[in-house]
């Protein structure tokens, strides 16, 4: 699937009301390398066997996973 098409299917996984920003995750772009899990400063990410589970209570939208993911599975918008 082209990245543009896959990104159109990204789901909101975390929202910060104070900023109005949202973290979106596209499971179709995730190949479960685990890189994002290692860089999250709040342990908000975990591998599930079918992508990534995100704890939207502890996530601060710090952007580390967005910068780290080699396929662009995360976006903050």
The residues of the shown chain that bind ligand SF4, judged by CB under 6 A, are 23, 30-36, 40, 42, 44-45, 52, 54, 59-65, 68-69, 71, 73
In this structure, how many other beta carbons lie within 10 angstroms of the beta carbon of residue 24?
17
Residues 6+ apart with CB under 8 A from 48: none
Nearer to ligand SF4 by Cβ, of 10 and 44: the residue is 44
Nearer to ligand SF4 by Cβ, of 10 and 54: the residue is 54
Minimum distance from residue 34 beta carbon to ligand SF4 (Å): 5
């Amino acid at each position: 699937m082209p990245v543009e098409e896959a990104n159109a299917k990204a789901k909101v996984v975390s929202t910060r009301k104070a900023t109005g920003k949202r973290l979106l995750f596209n499971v179709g772009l995730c190949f479960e390398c685990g890189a994002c899990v290692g860089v999250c400063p709040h342990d908000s990410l975990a591998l599930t066997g079918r992508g990534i589970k995100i704890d939207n209570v502890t996530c601060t939208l710090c952007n580390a996973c967005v910068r780290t993911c080699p396929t662009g599975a995360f976006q903050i918008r």
